[in-house]
Structure 1
Amino acid sequence: MSYRYRAYPGVEQIGGLFTHASHARFVWNLACEQQSYYRVAGRVSSPPNSAARFRQLAEARADSEWLAAGSSSVQQQALRDYDQAVRNWLGHKSHRKPSWRKAGRDEGFCIRDVKAQKVNRRWGRVFVPKVGWLRFRLTRPLPVKSGMARVTLDQAGRWHVSFTATQPVIKREPTGSEVGIDRGVATTLALSTGQHYQVPHSRKSDRKARKLAARMSRARRGSKRRDAAKHAFANVHAQAGDRRKNWIEKTTTTLIRDHDVIVLEDLKIKNMVRKPKPKPDPAQPGSFLPNLARAKAGLNRSIHRSCWGLFAQRLQDKAAVSGVTVITVNPSYSSQQCRACGHTAAENRQSQTDFCCMECGYSNHADTNAAQVVLARGIAALRPPQDMGQELAPARSARGNPEKSVARTTRTKAVA
């Protein structure tokens, strides 16, 4: 678990923080280049381990005054982070291959043997090597024990410090409630209980961002006018992102508090936001047919703005320490299947919000019906058939043939 705070460095400290971030990025990129060299086909030897890299770092610090001016612990931690990233990449398919870091993006560094103190009820401080005590706003209690801290700089120019600590087990009273959740663009979250949640979105912020983007495009590169517009543009996006993250934290906490079983759709978001492929025109070689790329780009922006992935991740993180079960099921035809009789047809979904079964006449809000179908699929995968009762009839297509099972579950391990 990470405890994150907004940091407020002094004017004389900002240079030291940037230097540490530059050293960490430089050492990481050297390790990345070294790893790529040894992994080329035909190399007999393997990449050096952490101990060998530490010796090479000591030699580099002896030859470079720029590296020697920084903290050896910060630079060594960057090598440890890279080695851990390589192990994660080789051992888990869900982790990406460590890649080259670019200046100005995701700047930061890690500190070992953290010394953090509470100054008063509003402020705390952490000791950064060769920088001194860095103040941060104490928006939540400090962790009891933390072995590492990370100092980062976001795109809006704000510094943050985060401490890693073990997530405590949350004790909660069982409610016996089960809920299914349908995620969408028009309605961000639709619950099987009939509740709807909408991610905060400001059209005023969008208009301001477009104006600032146009101002940047007209300004000369390297000018103060362009830098000011770029900084204001980053602030607008950072504020919008903060509002969405705050909404996700509050919404997931409410769902974990009120329900014992939560069922989600197993959405492949990465595939859903891919760009459409070009469509060559067979009648005119070298030209292309319309592929609706502009409309797909707008849909992709809406999907990213809805934060489906972050919502599911935070929900599973909180469920793992609170004894709540989170199940993911196959989302196929959940918006076309009738919750009452199981009839599945595209005609059942009459509009964005209206659902009316062509077989039995059952009607409801389309997203609420989909959430109820998702819940029934999750319960069917969680419990034996004899214990289910009559929550949802078997799915039937418009031709009357029973469809194949669409339930595919992954259960989050609950901590007692």
Structure 2
Amino acid sequence: KKLNQQSARFVRTGFSLKGNKLELAKLGRFKVKWSRPLPSEPSSVTIIRNTAGQYHASFVVEIGSINIEPLRPSIGVDLGIKTFAFLSTGDRVESPGYNRLDRKTRRFQRKLARQVKGSKRREKTRLRLAKLKLKTANIRKDFLHKTTTQLIHENQVVVLEDLAVKNMLGNRKLARAISEQGWGTARTMCEAKASMVNDREVRIISRWEPTSQICSDCGFRWGKVALSVRSILCVSCGTEHDRDGNAAKNIEKSGLGLTQDSKWTKNGRKTRMSGNPTALSSQPYSEQLGLFA
């Protein structure tokens, strides 16, 4: 009752911790369920109340830099929808399924819209809806924390692509699926965790880099390919690439300045390609292979 009289967010400097009890000045003692132990003595605490009526205590503590030996010097990450991340090592990171919770949320949203404002039943539905949304957000946050922590701990340089998420949400067919992934949050987490670990770096390449249009093995550029095409056969070297895997390798090379079309490299050092790729790709497949026999 004392906490309900306060605003949804307030900061307290007068507090004390005794085991699983948190004592706030002028409010009394409260039982706390710890998500993890505090690394050092806290200087202040912020009490937050969410829309579901739950209270959380956020403590400000000082922590030092972490020393962890990386397993790899660098890695490229291609973010997607069906597969959350395709790594340049060939590994896939699958995102948790939100479909069941999403259907349930939409059902309660329709129910809430039909109920009378100010009624007790509407308030009960609102709380259930808030808890469903909170559960989805917690699942996403837990997944993103684990994924970004593993990326930063295992790799010295993590290369990501600068995605125009706001523009991509204009596609009404993919807007819901894109917003559920949390690409922007993943980038923010990577950058924040890289600053906490010694000798870590997050590089962001331009969104205009043709990562899906270049062979990661030979550098041959085949041009734009429809999104429905998931596997590409390079007519120059004959290597068959997974679309996302090839893009992840090119993202890594572009971030390190090793790719031919990368803006990180100087114009004088770009590799020139002979022949006409457009004319070559317009020929029948059997004739293309015959040119490289």
Tell whether the structures are fold-level matches, with TM greater than 0.5.
yes
The amino acid that maps onto 2:9 is G
SS of structure 2 residue aligned to 1:109: strand
Q: Could you tell me how far apart the structure 2 residues matched to 1:362 and 1:338 are?
A: 8
Q: Which protein has the bigger helix share?
A: 1
The amino acid that maps onto 1:110 is V
Asked if 1:116 corresponds to 2:116, the answer is: no
Q: Could you tell me how far apart the structure 1 residues matched to 2:155 and 2:166 are?
A: 28
The aligned residue for residue 285 of structure 2 is: none
The aligned residue for residue 288 of structure 2 is: none
Contact 2:40 2:63 in 1 (8 A): no
The aligned residue for residue 3 of structure 2 is: 17
Percent of aligned pairs with the same residue? 28
SS of structure 2 residue aligned to 1:17: coil
Q: Could you tell me how far apart the structure 2 residues matched to 1:321 and 1:395 are?
A: 41
Structure 2 vs 1, CA of residues 374 and 397 (structure 1 numbering), >3 Å: closer, same or farther? farther
Asked if 1:212 corresponds to 2:108, the answer is: yes
State the 1:201 CA deviation: 2.0
The aligned residue for residue 187 of structure 1 is: 83
Asked if 1:303 corresponds to 2:191, the answer is: no
The amino acid that maps onto 1:321 is M
Q: Could you tell me how far apart the structure 2 residues matched to 1:151 and 1:352 are?
A: 50
Asked if 1:142 corresponds to 2:43, the answer is: no
Structure 2 gaps of 5+ residues are: 279-293
State the 1:377 CA deviation: 0.6
State the 1:113 CA deviation: 4.1
Q: Could you tell me how far apart the structure 2 residues matched to 1:297 and 1:396 are?
A: 39
State the 1:372 CA deviation: 0.2
The amino acid that maps onto 2:196 is V
Alignment of 1:12-411 (within 5 A): 15-21=1-7, 107-117=8-18, 119=19, 124-273=20-169, 275=170, 296-323=171-198, 324-332=200-208, 333-346=210-223, 348=225, 351-380=228-257, 394=271
CA RMSD of aligned residues (A): 2.7
Q: Could you tell me how far apart the structure 1 residues matched to 2:30 and 2:272 are?
A: 60
Q: In the TM superposition, what whole-angstrom CA distance separates every residue of 1:22-62 from its partner, at most 9, and x where no partner exists? A: xxxxxxxxxxxxxxxxxxxxxxxxxxxxxxxxxxxxxxxxx
Q: In the TM superposition, what whole-angstrom CA distance separates every residue of 1:185-222 from its partner, at most 9, and x where no partner exists? A: 22211100111112212322122112211211221111
State the 1:350 CA deviation: 7.0
Q: Could you tell me how far apart the structure 1 residues matched to 2:223 and 2:168 are?
A: 20
Q: Could you tell me how far apart the structure 1 residues matched to 2:77 and 2:24 are?
A: 44
SS of structure 2 residue aligned to 1:181: strand
Q: In the TM superposition, what whole-angstrom CA distance separates every residue of 1:135-160 from its partner, at most 9, and x where no partner exists? A: 21122112422222111111222110
The amino acid that maps onto 2:2 is G
The amino acid that maps onto 1:317 is A
State the 1:268 CA deviation: 3.2
The amino acid that maps onto 1:311 is A
Structure 2 vs 1, CA of residues 329 and 128 (structure 1 numbering), >3 Å: closer, same or farther? same
Q: In the TM superposition, what whole-angstrom CA distance separates every residue of 1:260-315 from its partner, at most 9, and x where no partner exists? A: 22111122333433x4xxxxxxxxxxxxxxxxxxxx23422222211111111111
Q: In the TM superposition, what whole-angstrom CA distance separates every residue of 1:85-129 from its partner, at most 9, and x where no partner exists? A: xxxxxxxxxxxxxxxxxxxxxx21111244223x2xxxx232223
SS of structure 2 residue aligned to 1:312: helix
Q: Could you tell me how far apart the structure 1 residues matched to 2:84 and 2:117 are?
A: 39
TM-score, normalised by the number of residues in structure 2: 0.82
Structure 2 vs 1, CA of residues 298 and 351 (structure 1 numbering), >3 Å: closer, same or farther? closer
State the 1:337 CA deviation: 2.0
State the 1:240 CA deviation: 1.0
Q: In the TM superposition, what whole-angstrom CA distance separates every residue of 1:375-414 from its partner, at most 9, and x where no partner exists? A: 00111179xx9xx9xxxx858799569xxxxxxxxxxxxx
SS of structure 1 residue aligned to 2:47: strand
Structure 1 gaps of 5+ residues are: 1-14, 22-106, 276-295, 402-416
The amino acid that maps onto 1:224 is K
